[in-house]
Structure 1
Amino acid sequence: MTLGRRQFLAAGTALAAASLTGCGSRSSLGGKNELSMWTWVGSVNDDLIGQAEKTIPGYDGMKLSMTRIGSNYKTKVLTALAGKSLVPDIVAINDDVATYFPNADQFHDLYELGAKELEKDFLPWKWKWGVTPAGKMMAYPMDTGPTALFYRSDIFTKAGIDIDPAAVAQLAPDWDAYIQLGKKLKQAVPGSAITNNIKSVYDYRMAQQSKRYMTSDGQFIGDQDHVREAFDLAVRVVKEGLSANAQNGSTDEDAVVTNGKLVAFSAAVWWAQLGPKNAAPKTKGLWRVTAQPGGPGNKGGSFLGITKYCKDPKAAFAFISWLESAKNQAQAFLDPVLFPSTPASYTDSRLSAPDPFFGGQKIVDVFADSAKKYPGAFFSPYDSLIDTPLGNELVNVETAGKNPDQAWSDAQHQIERELTRAGAI
């Protein structure tokens, strides 16, 4: 399935058209001395925002007015853009940044505001993700989601496995070895699982890949070997009895951490807080982190965009570049635990301190190495559309015993229908 670059971008525009039709006067939210900003809960550091709400650094007389949106965030942003009225000056954008690319004309090109001079301060792959295929910098880097292997040192000890992070990394350098390690853990401690569910294995294997579902020139590659390999790997982990079968969004997802069933998990840095620290606080000191089987990866991370309706683009850029400086990203790692996209932050004492929850380990070193070595991959506006059928069919394999080959075939047929409907093929 192939289409030219111009067709690819045009089709992407059609994908977003339903939410970007409308009329109205072009205006932004807030008073003339305010920069309005929309984001979601847990995306920024409150102390830093508090400073900007008094005055934008370097712009006396201009202050920030921020709104946290609790649900349907993306829908509300697109609806505001569609109406072209009461649009925030600045919007946070999640890791699905590519789905906003068809709407790039609604955003300032940050290169024109001075972003190029700061590119050297950021992880190259993260910076590239905020740039459209046409070369416009639409989104400024915020945090990242480097991946690693979390594991319970007490369970590993019961299984006779060396708990030193370097030793565990050597025992499980790839997913095949990780499965063998899982078998050993389960034999020693019955019921042990090395993933919460089938979709997580697939997601984190795909998060390591240097390519995903589309090429930058519009070729569909979601039916190729690298995707099937991740699909089959996820099925294999389930067939080996190493999944906790706790589906995403279910109460079981936390329960398998709380009750100790999930003894190892390849996940992103943010899982440290959402997983063991939240669901199993009594396991403080028992967890460790090491390199993920199969190599470094990334899952998650955010961006900031300045809309075309912004009343003072220069002040807005001064704010976002200040907020996402290496010093301030280090502060944002402390609360709300956002891993920096600025490598200079990784040696900041606020990040490099030992973490008591992880037995005094300096876990930032593991995630920093993953972030710096991650190969990067092209994300298209259609990735969510393609990923959904694959994920749904994997869940059918785990929860309903569906034949994996049939599940793969059905997912591909659904993807073809969706891409056809979207005008991508």
Structure 2
Amino acid sequence: MSVTTRRTRLAAAALAAVTAIGGLAACGNDDDATESGGKPAKLVVDTFGEFGYDEIVKQYEKDTGIKVELRKTAQLNEYRPKIVRALATGKGAADVVALEEGILNEFKANPANWADLGPLVSDHSKDYLPWKWELGKAPDGRLIGLPTDVGSLAVCYRRDLFEAAKLPTERDQVAALWPDWNAFIETGKKYRAATGKGLLDSVTTASSAVMFQQGGDLFYDKQDNVIADTSASVKTAWDTAIAMADANITAETATWSPEWSAGFKQGTFAATFCPSWMLGIVQENSGPENKGKWDVAPVPGGAGNWGGSWLAVPTQSKHPKEAAKLAEYLTNAQNQVAAFKAKGPLPTNLEALKNPEFLAYTNEYFNNAPTGKIFGDSVAKIQPLHLGPKHQAVKENAFEPALRSYESGQSSKDKAWEQFTKDAKTQGAF
């Protein structure tokens, strides 16, 4: 699962320490007690955003007698530094750690910090989307992450606000409004004319959707050289976002800011681009009073992937075997369907994606939208991406700030692009 973040100097320094010290002595979790016979009394799981594990772990506890503590961090900009610090100091990491795609790519550079899951779990190499499984491997071939979700794209929109703007509200009619990105912009203009407000939350959610929809090399080429200024996918995303800013169709709320979170409930904007994992976040921010007002429609262009995560086991865990088994349990077909129904993370397990219960699932909060079908149908169309080792830093500390500076009128187009390409080289260096 993917959430945007801003790298801090502390995180960068800590990551340098991780790289320098390499493999760390196993210090484990300070709170990790062990029962007689070697079975842990408790295993700790670190996640960010919403993975939908609250009810799932209750059954695991009944089956194994091992208590599971879920430590949740709301945002990735707070989560990542905690993981970096734990790896650098050799203590404090959970037994099972969720790694978002950008973080995983970065941490692959030092796989010695992560247990090789291959010998600890059954062979699941044929059980998941092939490209997703391969991305969980370190450069030396060791399996360091078991696949959780994939961020298949859609649009979350407010039916009541569309109705007030005299736009169609039924999801099939809404989908017909934007077969492509130009049509989406035209819809935004109509919404602005009718309401005086921005249809979309921010240009950065749009740029993410467009960029990830393109596939191929983004900020790096296959040799991990920074190509931010020449990448066709990046330029397409940039130009589309600039066109949206020029058309004045956004509410200019920076993603993950307090204003953005409040905007869901206050009706500051009427649409946002929703990877499957975003459904739980939209619901949490919107509150029970807006149940049924939100709905889900296909994204312009029909498909795309934004985000997704893996579960890994730090070498400092005192119970790597049991931790690996817990990660295996949380990512199996049955529990990926359960997590999707709870909070929206889209399964990557092939059996789960064919599960009739998943395909028939409708989300009550989102006006009973058939989210299983909407997201499930788009999985096969997802184009594999090459992110590179510091994709997250380039995207969130170079690309998005430059776009926001133009969106807010602080920079011209040329100055914003110049700012991005300059910062990309700094943020992408390794």
Deviation at 1:210, TM superposition (A): 0.8
Alignment of 1:7-18 (within 5 A): 16-18=15-17
For the 8 Å contact 1:244–1:256, the answer to whether it is kept is no
For the 8 Å contact 1:110–1:139, the answer to whether it is kept is yes
CA gap of 1:414–1:254, structure 2 versus 1, over 3 A, is: closer
CA gap of 1:382–1:192, structure 2 versus 1, over 3 A, is: same
Higher mean alpha-carbon deviation, 392-401 vs 125-134, is at 125-134
Alignment of 1:248-287 (within 5 A): 248-275=255-282, 278-279=285-286, 281-287=288-294
Structure 2 unaligned segments of length 5 or more: list them.
1-11
CA gap of 1:288–1:27, structure 2 versus 1, over 3 A, is: closer
Higher mean alpha-carbon deviation, 386-395 vs 294-303, is at 294-303
Tell me the equivalent position of 2:204.
199
For the 8 Å contact 1:333–1:351, the answer to whether it is kept is no
Tell me the equivalent position of 1:415.
424
CA gap of 1:158–1:68, structure 2 versus 1, over 3 A, is: closer
User: Residue 267 of structure 2 aligns to which amino acid in structure 1?
Assistant: G
Tell me the equivalent position of 2:339.
332
For the 8 Å contact 2:336–2:352, the answer to whether it is kept is yes
Tell me the equivalent position of 1:243.
250
Q: Paired residue for 2:414, among 405, 409, 415? A: 405
- State the alpha-carbon separation in 2 of the partners of residues 294 and 15 from structure 1: 40
Q: Paired residue for 1:318, among 314, 321, 325? A: 325
Deviation at 1:178, TM superposition (A): 1.0
Q: Does 1:210 align with 2:215?
A: yes
User: Residue 426 of structure 2 aligns to which amino acid in structure 1?
Assistant: R
Deviation at 1:408, TM superposition (A): 0.6
**Superposed structure 1 runs of 4+ greater than 6 Å apart:** none
Deviation at 1:176, TM superposition (A): 0.9
Q: Paired residue for 2:189, among 178, 183, 189? A: 183
CA gap of 1:133–1:21, structure 2 versus 1, over 3 A, is: closer
Tell me the equivalent position of 1:358.
366
Higher mean alpha-carbon deviation, 332-341 vs 136-145, is at 332-341
- State the alpha-carbon separation in 2 of the partners of residues 154 and 202 from structure 1: 26
Q: Paired residue for 2:390, among 365, 378, 382? A: 382
Deviation at 1:207, TM superposition (A): 2.2
For the 8 Å contact 1:153–1:163, the answer to whether it is kept is yes
Tell me the equivalent position of 2:7.
none
Query: Residue 295 of structure 2: SS of its match in structure 1?
Result: strand
User: Residue 157 of structure 2 aligns to which amino acid in structure 1?
Assistant: Y
- State the alpha-carbon separation in 2 of the partners of residues 392 and 354 from structure 1: 36
Tell me the equivalent position of 2:349.
342
With the length of structure 2 as denominator, give the TM-score of the two structures.
0.82
Q: Paired residue for 1:66, among 55, 64, 69? A: 69
For the 8 Å contact 1:37–1:90, the answer to whether it is kept is yes
- State the alpha-carbon separation in 2 of the partners of residues 260 and 67 from structure 1: 32
Tell me the equivalent position of 2:402.
393
Query: Residue 36 of structure 1: SS of its match in structure 2?
Result: strand
- State the alpha-carbon separation in 2 of the partners of residues 83 and 245 from structure 1: 39
CA gap of 1:14–1:135, structure 2 versus 1, over 3 A, is: farther
- State the alpha-carbon separation in 2 of the partners of residues 273 and 147 from structure 1: 14
Task: Output the aligned Cα RMSD.
Answer: 3.0
Deviation at 1:396, TM superposition (A): 1.0
Alignment of 1:134-149 (within 5 A): 134-149=140-155
Deviations 1:95-124 (A, max 9, x none): 321111112122233334455x32332223
The count of corresponding residues between Structure 1 and Structure 2 is 402
For the 8 Å contact 1:334–1:351, the answer to whether it is kept is no
User: Residue 17 of structure 1 aligns to which amino acid in structure 2?
Assistant: A
For the 8 Å contact 1:148–1:370, the answer to whether it is kept is no
Higher mean alpha-carbon deviation, 202-211 vs 74-83, is at 74-83
Deviation at 1:15, TM superposition (A): 9.4
For the 8 Å contact 1:194–1:264, the answer to whether it is kept is yes
Deviation at 1:279, TM superposition (A): 1.9
Structure 1 unaligned segments of length 5 or more: list them.
1-12, 57-61
Deviation at 1:406, TM superposition (A): 1.2
- State the alpha-carbon separation in 2 of the partners of residues 28 and 399 from structure 1: 46
Q: Which has the larger radius of gyration?
A: 1
For the 8 Å contact 2:206–2:241, the answer to whether it is kept is yes
User: Residue 385 of structure 1 aligns to which amino acid in structure 2?
Assistant: A
- State the alpha-carbon separation in 2 of the partners of residues 309 and 139 from structure 1: 16
Q: Does 1:39 align with 2:38?
A: no
CA gap of 1:76–1:409, structure 2 versus 1, over 3 A, is: same
- State the alpha-carbon separation in 2 of the partners of residues 78 and 24 from structure 1: 13
Query: Residue 356 of structure 1: SS of its match in structure 2?
Result: coil
